[in-house]
Structure 1
Amino acid sequence: MKQAVVWIAMLLWMSACRPGMVSPDKPLVVSHIGKDASCPFLTKDASGRPVISWVEKDSSADTGLMYYAVSNDNGHTFSEPVAIPASSGVYPHDENLPKLLFKPDGSVIALFGVEANDARNKYAGKVLYTQSFDGGKTWQNAVPLVTDTAGYDQRYFDMSLLPGGEAAAIWLDNRKDTDAEGSTLYFAVTSGRQGFQAATPVASTICQCCRTKMYIADNGDIHLAYRDIINDSIRDMVHQVSVDGGHTFSKPVRISADNWVVRGCPHTGPTLTANSTGLHFAWFTMGGGQGAFYCRSVDNGNTYTQKESLSKSPMAKHPQMSTINDHILVLWDEPVKWKDDFNSRIGFQYKAADGKTIQAGLLTSDSTYANFPVISALKENKALIAYKRRTGNQSEIVVNALQLP
């Protein structure tokens, strides 16, 4: 029996590594042994080198510290972890994961969430950020993203680099001009070393607990995707775009009329990317089907294709995607029965430029507990993925370079 299992494993590995197939390198653990690690995030520094950031804490602690590591060989190995001292007190939340951004002028911004401890809402959070003006050697004291005293709850943020070299951020905020349920989506841009300035509301009645997504297209268009609350009960994904650098945004439009009526928080947001054929979206819903789905738009968000399922699992969620050489790679996590319990595994679809699936499969085994994947494009038609992997009562951060067909 043992010999048969070994042969099956060898056949699966040989199949996965055939020419023209997605083939993974050996997984690499970047977090410290003995620490509880979470919130993997991938980006690039000002020189284009891959960077991974994450949060570490002691198992008995509620909060932790941000770390990051840089690769000098296209994602095969990474430097020793570098701590960001000013992030002390970061609250680890894999949907509200901290972000790291490298500006062309050599400065770095770390954006992260902490507990607000506000009497007006015991679940409230606050978003802080710290800047480094010497490439990460030293960090300024962390400051609030929102200084308005009326703003006591900010969370589920995203951050991207604009064509002019400044950073843009979006987040969910308690400040709103309606009695309807939900949060307001805010947008702000940095002004040199002065940090984020002139925050403006973009939309209201946003689902309070799902990840938001901002994507900056090659032409400078700013695309937003998030879970909206429609007609007080429907929680579907919508898209907005700004073609004037964030001064104005189009009205929210549903990417799919799922009509998911839910009185609660799904805790799984959307993802989007773009290539030569248009925009590509992935998200989780339990309306009009259940699981992770995909669609695209060829007219900059005016219309959208019919959604298609990414996985046979009805609980596939937390999708992420990236464009690699005009192709699309989509990842997600999904539960899987393992012995007398359930684990979580990472699934993928590799799509052609027009969204047609070239290959689909799994990147982690059923015997491993892996979730919250993230993805970034590498040089030489490769992709870098990272995820959280459970080991006993703790978790570690794993990175893996993928060679694409």
Structure 2
Amino acid sequence: MIKIIAFFNVWFFSMVAIFSPKEEAKTNLDENMPMCNTSMVESIEQWTKLPSSPVYSSVPSGTGTIAIDSTKAYTMPLLAQTPKGEILLSWTEKDEQGLTSFCLAFSKDKGKTFGDKKVIFSSKGIGNSRLMRAKVLAKKDGSLVALFTNRPDVPGGAPAGGRGGRTADLVYCLSKDAGTTWTSPQNVDSDPAKAMRGFFDAIVLPNDEIAVFYLKDVANSTKHEERDLRMVLSKNGVFQPERLIDPVVCDCCNINLLVDANGALHVYYRDNNDDIRDIAKITSTDNGVTFSKPQILHNDGWKINGCPHSGAISSSYGKGALVAWFSGAESESGFRLVTQEGKKLFVLSDASVKNPWIMAGAKQAVMIWEQSQADSKNQLVFRKINGDKVSETVAVDGSVNALNSTGLMLDNQLLLAHEVKGEKKNSLKITTVAL
């Protein structure tokens, strides 16, 4: 076992959320996924014109990471908990030749130490970004399923049956020996057409099957960017033909999935109704066989002729859930946190708020995010939620220049994995925060 002490070295080009009017020239925002683009780039920070951040009280934190290879660059961590209670940390790392490896490691002591790194797959076409984070799902039968985007047009990036051309495939690998060996990547969907597939999320359902939702290019579209919402379900561990769920959605905003305490599957995505791009929810109570009609979670009424590149995040909490997303609505611009029923708890209107993440335990929940301080450096801050009560904002000590934080709530502490911005390369850090 390797004690958590050192820092990862990470090469990471930070992506801010932007929107893009349609019918404009294309600009790559992510090296592994072309997206909606614009000649009029505006960030979320430009939409919200508010004073600089206040100074917050802070809480102490512990730090650490896994053993590193200083010749490689690491990025986009994700923490999860297996049905056996182990902590699963996944990430991607890139060597000096541009080969990216999707990796994972396990902890049996709540993140204090991690076992040896295990490589899932290596390719120059692997994608891992804020809008389509590579992830590993742990099933109750003990098997692991890794899902990520892979560009077959990149040399060395095509999986078996790769489609080639301007394509981003959504692929999966399977392990039945706790991540020691993995199958070769296979496409999640069986459609042979060249198309962009991404902005995905995937989840293990109560019946131990897997649901994958993603955006896919609309065939023969005459628009600059047009994608619809698709779903693939597994049956007896085998992915079935894809299904069209919603034909008109926002083109480039990430999808978010949640299974609540009652076993219902909730799908959150940014809808597009005559350029009103609010967050919609559909629900299935039969493991993805049927779904409710789309319901707007909160009527923000944000009308914008372009894609914000910013979807929802969520966490099961008690018998319900908490959901957060950004809206540039004139009446109340900022990140809002609402309950599953659409009740608004608060709005973060400060222009420097970025990349929120929600974690929940048995008695309380936490929303954490990046906040620019007086020296323009990011710091992680959070608020605790207990029922309808929300605490004051608290900063995490030792979290200066933090990026893309994710985490878990374990007993009465947070286990966070996040990047730390450097001059040329970022580091990646494990942080524990006592609540």
Equivalent residue for 2:424? 393
- Residues 223-277 of structure 1, C-alpha deviations (whole Å, 9 max, x = no match): 011111121x122211111112111111222222222233333222211223236
Change (3 A) 1:362 1:219: same
- Residues 196-230 of structure 1, C-alpha deviations (whole Å, 9 max, x = no match): 22321221222222221000112210001111112
Equivalent residue for 1:257? 299
- Whether contact under 8 Å (2:261, 2:319) holds in the other structure is no
The Cα shift of 1:55 comes to: 0.7
Separation in 2 of the partners of 1:32 and 1:263?
Answer: 44
TM-score in terms of structure 2 length: 0.77
Gaps of 5+ in 2: 1-54, 155-162
- Whether contact under 8 Å (2:260, 2:321) holds in the other structure is no
Separation in 1 of the partners of 2:327 and 2:64?
Answer: 30
Equivalent residue for 1:6? none
Separation in 2 of the partners of 1:72 and 1:224?
Answer: 31
Change (3 A) 1:331 1:253: same
Q: Please point out which of 246, 249, 264 is paired with 1:206.
A: 249
Matched pairs, number: 371
The Cα shift of 1:192 comes to: 3.5
Equivalent position SS for 2:351 = coil
- Residues 332-388 of structure 1, C-alpha deviations (whole Å, 9 max, x = no match): 2244453xxx43332211110x2321342222568x32111112232x333321112
Change (3 A) 1:16 1:32: same
Equivalent residue for 1:348? 382
Going by fraction, where is helix more abundant, 1 or 2? 1
Equivalent residue for 1:234? 276
The Cα shift of 1:124 comes to: 4.3
Change (3 A) 1:31 1:51: farther
Equivalent position SS for 1:234 = coil
- Whether contact under 8 Å (1:30, 1:398) holds in the other structure is no
Separation in 2 of the partners of 1:45 and 1:103?
Answer: 8
Equivalent residue for 1:148? 191
The Cα shift of 1:88 comes to: 6.2
Change (3 A) 1:59 1:372: farther
Amino acid at match of 2:297: I
Change (3 A) 1:307 1:359: closer
TM-score in terms of structure 1 length: 0.82
Equivalent residue for 1:357? 390
Q: Please point out which of 259, 262, 266 is paired with 1:219.
A: 262
The Cα shift of 1:53 comes to: 0.5
Whether 2:211 is the aligned partner of 1:173: answer no
Q: Please point out which of 125, 149, 154 is paired with 2:168.
A: 125
Equivalent residue for 1:185? 229
- Residues 7-54 of structure 1, C-alpha deviations (whole Å, 9 max, x = no match): xxxxx99x645xxxxx53234366543422112111123421111101
The Cα shift of 1:306 comes to: 3.6
Separation in 2 of the partners of 1:266 and 1:59?
Answer: 33
Whether 2:290 is the aligned partner of 1:248: answer yes
Amino acid at match of 2:418: Y
Aligned pairs for 1:5-404 (under 5 A) are: 16-17=58-59, 23-28=60-65, 32-58=69-95, 61=98, 64-85=100-121, 89-117=125-153, 124-150=167-193, 152-175=195-218, 182-194=226-238, 196-231=239-274, 233-276=275-318, 278-287=320-329, 288-297=331-340, 301=341, 304-306=342-344, 308-310=346-348, 313-336=350-373, 338=375, 342-352=376-386, 354-363=387-396, 368-378=400-410, 380-404=411-435
Identity %: 25
- Whether contact under 8 Å (1:30, 1:399) holds in the other structure is no
Root-mean-square deviation over aligned CA pairs: 2.8
Q: Which has the higher contact order (CA 8 A, sep 6+)?
A: 2
Change (3 A) 1:151 1:225: farther
The Cα shift of 1:136 comes to: 1.0
Separation in 1 of the partners of 2:388 and 2:180?
Answer: 42
Equivalent residue for 2:49? none
Change (3 A) 1:79 1:88: farther
- Whether contact under 8 Å (1:101, 1:110) holds in the other structure is yes
Separation in 1 of the partners of 2:336 and 2:164?
Answer: 33
Equivalent residue for 1:5? none
